[in-house]
Amino acid sequence: MTLSTRALPAGVLPGDALPVAPVPPVWLGNGLARVIGAGGWRADLLMLLAGALAALAFPPVDLFPILIPCFAVLTAAIDAASSWRGAARRGFLFGLGLHTAGLYWLTDAILVRADTFWWLVPLASPGCALILAPIAAFPAALCRLAPVGWRRLLAFAGLWTLFDMARVFIFSGFPWNPLGTTWELPGRLGDVMIQPAAWIGVDGLTLGTVLLALLPQVGRRGVLALVAGLVAWGLAGWGRLVLTPLPAGRNPMVVLVQGNVPETEKIGGRDNVAIFRRYLALTRSGIADALPEAGGRPLVYVWPETAFPGLLAEDDIARRMIARAGEGAAAGVIGTIRSDAEGRWRNSVMAVTGPDGRVADLYDKSHLVPFGEYQPRFLPFHVVPGEGMAAGSGVQTWHLPDVAPVGPLICYEVIFSGQVVDAKDRPDWLVNVTNDAWYGDSAGPRQHLAAVRMRAVEEGLPVARAANTGISAAFDAHGHELARLGWNRQGVLAVSLGGALPVTLFGQWGRWIPILLAMMTLLPALGEWLPGIGRRMAIRRL
């Protein structure tokens, strides 16, 4: 009773009310256990290293097993911390290592403009990681409200998922590399393992991933539960593939044009005419090859993000030239920059139809890239050219002549789970135009492509993706890759898209599903914690 009536020290949460900090589990190894238990700079360095190694779980490596020891180190450090502040610091350092390693490829974008921003080269990835690291610090601190053991592990998994989902509110949103993408393995195995995203989304997969990674900490039963969980996951995915056959549908054959224009050429602007001619020639040859294979399907050719080196909306001659190159197609989807009525610059994609290249519809990018397309106000220096871009009004569906309804998406808008489709006007397919030339032949374009595949499963819609330097690809409504044109290749990819599936459970309810699931993991922890808080408050009043 004496311990219950004692006021908690400053900086200690109710879950910290222990006489002695718990000892890290022996199975981590005596060396790691001593480092974690001793604290100090060695423990901090260990957190950075564990986070960096955990980044190997992201595409294209997809090494899920690495999360088991990495999360074991993190949770042991959380338990061994003397207060919630110490746990938060360790979570922060883990997140710093995770996102610095996972976003290493951002350095390539700085190198494109190294003559101006050379001093940012060593800061690009760590700088973004500093902004994202608190997303790991909060779960590390708050999970200590639960008692040590399986309840704390459950609380950590739920909190990790909820705070990771909150990344959509950072700047214009940056939900890159959720741990649910671990299951986007190449080939048929990956097709099976990502199918549950149709029910619970990639954030639900993140929750499942963290729970599975934590299970071995429970002991032998936890290891058996991990094996059983993986088998159940795979059976659920296989079952969905079998029970939801793809309809033929009425979607078009898409001709994806990959110009392979280096970013230095695009920025310089000296070869605009040559770039335009290259796209015209590729379109002409692609349409000619695809027409005999179309089998009566309409053709739609797609140019990548900002592929047209000018202002297409204002260039009637260029649109007519594009229409002539695409003769035989029902429509063309062209990435371009435009200036609106107020003189604001917008990153846009236009649908051109008819022999005169009439602009049948246009879409402005709504999720802008921080530091790339708009200038965050807190920065004391200017990194975005000019005034940056203006954001569009949000997702929409195009209804083009003779073409099934399509939802356009520009660049990294496709990473926003649950925000890629107009729910009131559901399209039959999605088209994503992008320019990943900034990021070189790195993990960046592969991680971006993995997001495209996940959106196909979540929404039950086929997706066609045209990228400037690669990777251009198409996925059916199960997320199965139909074809791809690899990195640093110039060419054309003609693909017949399959039909759309009925709206998925996730398509109906969106991110409310993973939010609810994550909240459910907190109930056992709160059930233990809340009565204790009530007793302490009652005793203090006495």
User: Which residues are identified as catalytic?
Assistant: 305, 365, 411
Give the whole-angstrom CA distance, residue 322 versus residue 277.
10
Helices (H), ranges, 40-133: 40-54, 67-80, 84-102, 106-112, 114-117, 124-132
* Dihedral angle of Cα 225, 227, 229, 234, to the nearest 10 degrees: -170
Block residue for tokens 């027409």: 291
| Ramachandran area for residue 340 (φ above 0: left; ψ -120 to 50: alpha; else beta) | beta
Q: Which of 165, 146, 246 is nearest to 522 (CA)?
A: 146
408 residue type, one letter? P
Cβ–Cβ < 8 Å for 260, 307: no
Residue 213 phi/psi, 5-degree rounding, is -65, -25
Cα separation, 406 vs 254, in Å, equals 12
Do 388 and 375 touch, CB atoms closer than 8 A?
yes
The answer to whether 237 and 195 are in contact (CB under 8 A) is yes
Kindly state the tokens that stand for 225: 């539960």
* Alpha-carbon distances of 256 from 56, 243, 309, rounded to whole Å: 31, 31, 18
